[in-house]
Amino acid sequence: MRASFARLTIVRLRYPKRVDRGTEVTDYTAVPDELDIKRCWYEPTSSVEDTDARSAVLTGYTVDAPSGADIVASDHVRIAGVEHEVDGQPLDIPSPTGVLDSVRLTTKRWEG
């Protein structure tokens, strides 16, 4: 049972793989497989601005998804209509009672 405030939906985007010169790589030009993941909660992380001769901003979210959510480090997620990369391996977060188990992930998005 998820907390009552976990009412947000994210979309997991899993891009297909292709072989490039003998190495398997993610094909970001292809259409990704989409999966709605409901009963999530997300909060913005801090942002970083790079001002060395350009205007670039890094933003992201910390997301708590239901236990067993099908998300891996190579996926992207759509949050509030905006695509973000998953930053690192999503982690299983157990709760002492088992009632509030979740999967926690961090996202990032560079702009500029």
Q: Yes or no: say if 60 and 32 are a contact pair by the CB < 8 Å rule.
A: no
The domain made up of 8-111 has a fold known as Thrombin, subunit H (2.40.10)
In this predicted structure, the answer to whether residue 86 has a pLDDT above a threshold of 70 is: yes
pLDDT tens digits for range 9-55: 999 999 999 999 999 999 999 999 999 999 999 999 877 776 667 77
Strand partners, 10: 37
Give me the pLDDT at residue 75, please: 96
Domain ranges of the chain: 8-111
Q: Where are the beta strands (DSSP E) in the chain?
A: 8-14, 17-20, 23-26, 33-44, 48-50, 56-59, 61-66, 76-79, 82-86, 91-93, 102-111
pTM tops 0.75, yes or no = yes
The alpha carbon of 20 is separated from its chain's Cα centroid by a whole number of angstroms, namely 25
